Structure 1
Amino acid sequence: MKKPRARAPRRFALGMAVLLCSAGATADENITARFRPDPSNPMVNKFENTTPISSICAAHIPARCKALGIFSLRDTTLRIASVAPIIANHEEERQGFMVKVPSAWRDLVVTHATTQETEIVQVRIAGIGGYWSVPRPPGVSAWGQPGIAWSTQWRYAPSPCQSTSHLAAGTASASYFWLTPEGAGPCSRKPSQDLLRMNVNTMEYAYELRTPNPLGMSSGLYTGSITYTMGPGGDYDFGDVMMPSKNALTFNFTLSVEHDLKVEVPPGGNRIELVPQGGWQPWLNQGRKPARLFRDQTFNISASSRFKMQLGCERTMGDTCALRNATDGHAVPVDVSVSLPHGLSHGDGAPVNRQPLLLSGAGTELFQPGFYVNRRPGTLHFEVRKDYAEQMLERGGSTYSGQVTVVWDSQV
């Protein structure tokens, strides 16, 4: 009897991208993430953000960004300009420099391009900064307060924002960056001297993502988007004096998953010979009838995705395959079952131990990984039970054969 054949491994790509829409008064940004199982680190099963990062996380505070799990982007097309003078020590923070960003988590739906399956991605804005300029005189010194240097005002963030200590400045301009804790309100600074105008020519911000468990997702591409409003009272709110040149920011997500499903059978493993426990000698020498005829065939499996298993038969008997005697046509059923390694389970989390493989597919419709299983051994069990084994022995000297095909299919 021939060994079951494993279907060629199916590999898939699922990508995540976030975009900020730009059309006239809107802006677009693209963010991509990818899952590809790593044989050297099989317990780490999460998306890798493949979006290029801007200089804040790339050069200025890389360790801080990594520790916080945030990523920075720069929008060089956004302009934020004052529409009125900023009065020294104004009482209402909306009358001067103010930033409020969507720092709370928000959900967005990503949809598989082919199957239309959906998953939830969460995103929040975790930091805000930019490059601003003011007239000179008074220049940057206008931001100083009694006993407080102007640079301290920008190097260290006002509450509820948090400091990164990033500041690069000239006499009339500066680049700053502040962190925004989850759910943070507005952060503002007041000058000690009147400013005729103020401009922000570049916005830099950081975002944080929560992505779905890729092990439970189908291979392929998932896309989705979320749009934030900009301007007074919007998601991005810069007060009533500082007005942005765009009124919306859209994140378009593309999630890419490249799953691994591979089955390796050792050389000669596609030919199965069923024998009694302990071999044929007890039967030949002592006439002791075997309790069963069987063979356990090992295989190595690598899997990062859901899959199902199916049985195919050259000849059938009931819900399983049959072996046939070529001499008189007598046939007996052969039971086929599978045991999978730790890390692969039924849909309900139960381990897979001698799970029958049936033509109907019952019981093998879904197996799922708890982590990336990389070249771990499993077993296919083939057995002819005692009653049928005795029927075969009554026809001594004859040969029973049949072809059994086992399919590992990632298209669940």
Structure 2
Amino acid sequence: MKPMNTMRLAALSLALLGGAEVAMASEVTITAEFRPSSTNTRFTNTTPISGFCNRWPNRPECTGGAQSNNHSIDLGIEYIKKTFKSAPDPRDRFYVSLPGSKSVEVRNSTSGEIHGLNFSMSKYSAHVDGAAPGITNPVYTTAVQGGCSYIIALGQSGGIGWVVVLWDVRNPENPTPCHSTSNTGAAGTEMDVVVKEFSIGYALQTPNPLAMRAGLYTGEVNYSVGENGEIALGNMVTNLNTNSLKIKFELDVRHALEVHFPANSDKVILEPPGGWMRWLNGGPAPEKLVRDLPFRITNTGPLSIYMECEHPTGRSCGIQNTRNSEIAALDVAVSLPGGIQLNNGQAVQRFPIPTGRARPLHVDAVTPVFNQPGALHFATAAGEAAEMVKNPGDTYRGNVTVVFDALL
């Protein structure tokens, strides 16, 4: 499985083709992984930090750990924007409009299983370089207007020069455009600013990993970038290095599955409930021969259980008389801890195990289960024991393989 702790950012450049400016697409990857433990039932964000959290790692917007939604990523967008102080049209000021939240399907690369995640942009940051005599940079202000609020700004010479700004997007689900204007100078004062280090804070609402089969899930979302794109930059934008942004998602799910049986559990000896003495002393033939086989299980995800039979008998397994090859059918069932349930939410108690990989028993991990008890229940089918004891001394044997499969 490919590692998930990488972020790719496509090379961004301006090329000339027949005299026309060509902008390359930008691409970033957001990664997360699920590694279960007794205290962890959530995805952990493994995307390397880039963007404003590299500059301000100790700010509240950047703390809380890998399972918080305090993360930033540099989108690699660069451009020049012509701004006018206090312009009647906000798009002529410093302006940015971010898209609303997106639902994204992620697909298991092996099984094709699909789940959904939600992605939204909750913060905006950029390095804005602008110089005009006696005029502050248009982002060097606490009076941010529209759908954003001021968080912090660091500037050169009191904001006359470059400024690095961080804004809060007040409604990430459905944001409205954000804009700002210089604190100094006359209305209409013009300034060209160079924008780089364009980054966002983002919130990632991931699926429930307990309901996902193990594997790598991938998906993507695409945004247009430009004056009127889904990521809109306002009027009079030039030298834009990308006209589209692709954000790829990779969710790596690795479940824990361990089933431990006691020593010598490879042989199961069937006998009547309470033993053979009643029958040996002239009592009636036993109704069935039984044996329970305990085990302990650790499991954190969907699970399939089925049997493979040396001696199939319709929908179950059997054991064979070593003298005359007659087959006696078995009933084989399983009991599991309460954290593992049937798809309809019922407990798994003495539930029959089907034969064959094509139609397994599907169960779900409602809560993580670590080293908890379960059992296999073996019994001869109705009427078989009475026939078997008609020939005292005969031996019945057969192999029954019970498969616990986290990938099926």
Whether 1:371 and 2:370 are equivalent positions in the alignment is no
Tell me how far 1:336 sits from its aligned partner: 0.8
Q: How does 1:12-411 map to 2 (within 5 A)?
A: 24=13, 25=23, 26-36=25-35, 38-41=36-39, 44=41, 46-54=42-50, 56-57=52-53, 59-60=56-57, 62-65=59-62, 69-75=69-75, 77-83=76-82, 86-102=83-99, 104-135=100-131, 137-140=133-136, 153-154=141-142, 157-164=144-151, 166-171=152-157, 172-180=161-169, 181-182=171-172, 183-191=174-182, 192-193=184-185, 194-243=189-238, 244-285=240-281, 287=283, 289-359=285-355, 364-385=360-381, 387-411=383-407
User: Which consecutive segments of 4 or more residues in structure 1 shift more than 6 A?
Assistant: 16-20
Give a deviation string over 1:115-145, Cα, whole Å, max 9, x none: 34433332222111111122252153x66xx
Give a deviation string over 1:235-255, Cα, whole Å, max 9, x none: 112211344432221112222
Q: Give me the whole-angstrom Cα distance separating, in 2, the residues matched to 1:51 and 1:299.
A: 39
Distance change in 2, residues 1:62/1:396 (3 Å): farther
Q: Give me the whole-angstrom Cα distance separating, in 2, the residues matched to 1:352 and 1:240.
A: 63
Distance change in 2, residues 1:332/1:20 (3 Å): same
CA contact (8 A) 1:334 1:384 kept: yes
CA contact (8 A) 2:225 2:245 kept: yes
Q: Secondary structure of the equivalent of 1:198?
A: strand
Give a deviation string over 1:56-98, Cα, whole Å, max 9, x none: 33544553345671420124x5323134xx4333222111111
Q: Give me the whole-angstrom Cα distance separating, in 1, the residues matched to 2:199 and 2:358.
A: 54
- Range with greater deviation from structure 2 (129-138 or 21-30): 21-30
Tell me how far 1:177 sits from its aligned partner: 0.5
CA contact (8 A) 1:14 1:35 kept: no
Tell me how far 1:353 sits from its aligned partner: 1.8
| Higher RCO (C-alpha under 8 Å, 6+ residues apart) | 1
Q: Give me the whole-angstrom Cα distance separating, in 2, the residues matched to 1:23 and 1:386.
A: 73
Larger helix percent: 1
Q: Give me the whole-angstrom Cα distance separating, in 1, the residues matched to 2:406 and 2:324.
A: 40
CA contact (8 A) 2:310 2:399 kept: yes
Partner amino acid for 1:40? S
- Contiguous gaps of at least 5 residues in structure 2: 14-22
CA contact (8 A) 2:6 2:48 kept: no
Partner amino acid for 1:33? A
- Range with greater deviation from structure 2 (189-198 or 55-64): 55-64
Q: Give me the whole-angstrom Cα distance separating, in 1, the residues matched to 2:88 and 2:332.
A: 80
Give a deviation string over 1:161-195, Cα, whole Å, max 9, x none: 1343x222221222111121221211111223134
Tell me how far 1:218 sits from its aligned partner: 3.5
Q: Secondary structure of the equivalent of 2:216?
A: strand
Distance change in 2, residues 1:175/1:284 (3 Å): same
Distance change in 2, residues 1:97/1:406 (3 Å): same
Tell me how far 1:52 sits from its aligned partner: 0.8
CA contact (8 A) 2:121 2:203 kept: yes
Q: Give me the whole-angstrom Cα distance separating, in 1, the residues matched to 2:230 and 2:8.
A: 16
Distance change in 2, residues 1:397/1:124 (3 Å): same
- Contiguous gaps of at least 5 residues in structure 1: 1-11, 144-149
Instruction: Calculate the TM-score normalised by the size of structure 2.
Output: 0.83
CA contact (8 A) 1:35 1:257 kept: yes
CA contact (8 A) 1:96 1:242 kept: no
CA contact (8 A) 1:323 1:332 kept: yes
Distance change in 2, residues 1:248/1:21 (3 Å): farther
Q: Give me the whole-angstrom Cα distance separating, in 2, the residues matched to 1:360 and 1:197.
A: 70
Partner amino acid for 1:290? P
Q: Give me the whole-angstrom Cα distance separating, in 2, the residues matched to 1:353 and 1:16.
A: 41
Tell me how far 1:22 sits from its aligned partner: 5.3
Larger strand percent: 2
- Give the percent of matched residue pairs that are identical in Structure 1 and Structure 2: 28
Q: Give me the whole-angstrom Cα distance separating, in 1, the residues matched to 2:117 and 2:220.
A: 10
Q: How many residue pairs were aligned?
A: 384
